[in-house]
Amino acid sequence: MDIQSKIYIAGHRGMVGSAIKRNLESRGYQNLVCRTHSELDLTNQQAVNEFFKTEKPEYVFLAAAKVGGILANSTYPAEFIYQNLLIEANIIHAAYIHNIKKLLFLGSSCIYPKFAPQPMKEEYLLTGDLEVTNEAYAIAKIAGIRLCKHYNQQYNTNFMSVMPTNLYGQNDNFNLESSHVMPALIRKFHEAKINNISEIVIWGTGSPKREFLHVDDMADACVHLMMNYNASDIGEFVNVGTGKDITIKELAELVGDIVDYDGKIIYDASKPDGTPRKLLDVSRLNVLGWKAKISLKDGIKQTYEWYTDSK
User: What's the sign of the alpha-carbon dihedral 176, 180, 185, 191?
Assistant: negative
The answer to whether the annotation marks 218 as part of a ligand binding site is no
User: What's the sign of the alpha-carbon dihedral 255, 257, 262, 266?
Assistant: positive
The answer to whether the annotation marks 273 as part of a ligand binding site is yes
The answer to whether the annotation marks 181 as part of a ligand binding site is no
Our answer to whether residue 137 is catalytic in this structure is: yes
The answer to whether the annotation marks 108 as part of a ligand binding site is yes
Instruction: Supply the Cα-derived Rg of the chain in whole angstroms.
Output: 19
The answer to whether the annotation marks 15 as part of a ligand binding site is yes
How distant, in Å, are the alpha carbons of 24, 56, 67, 145, 159 from that of 137? 28, 29, 8, 13, 20
Residues in the chain: 311
SS3 label, residue 203: strand
The answer to whether the annotation marks 227 as part of a ligand binding site is no
The answer to whether the annotation marks 224 as part of a ligand binding site is no
Residue 237 near residue 166, CB atoms below 8 Å = no
- Letter for the amino acid at 303? T
Going by C-alpha positions, the residue among 296, 294, 290 that lies closest to residue 185 is 296
The answer to whether the annotation marks 228 as part of a ligand binding site is no
Q: Which of 137, 229, 267, 304 is catalytic?
A: 137
The answer to whether the annotation marks 106 as part of a ligand binding site is yes
The answer to whether the annotation marks 217 as part of a ligand binding site is no
The answer to whether the annotation marks 166 as part of a ligand binding site is yes
DSSP 3: T
The answer to whether the annotation marks 263 as part of a ligand binding site is no
φ and ψ of 72, to 5 deg: -65, -45
Going by DSSP bridges, is the β-strand pair 102-106/32-33 parallel, antiparallel, or unpaired? Answer: unpaired
The answer to whether the annotation marks 203 as part of a ligand binding site is yes
Residues 298, 279: Cα–Cα separation, whole Å: 20
Residues 103, 45: Cα–Cα separation, whole Å: 18
The answer to whether the annotation marks 17 as part of a ligand binding site is yes
The answer to whether the annotation marks 188 as part of a ligand binding site is yes
Residues 185, 251: Cα–Cα separation, whole Å: 9
Residue 164's CB is within 10 A of a number of other CB atoms, namely: 21
Q: Which residues pair with 277 in a beta bridge?
A: 209
Catalytic positions, written as ranges: 137
Binding residues: 11-17, 106-109, 141, 164-167, 180, 188, 203, 210, 273
Binding residues for NADP(+): 11-17, 106-109, 141, 164-167, 180
Binding residues for substrate: 188, 203, 210, 273
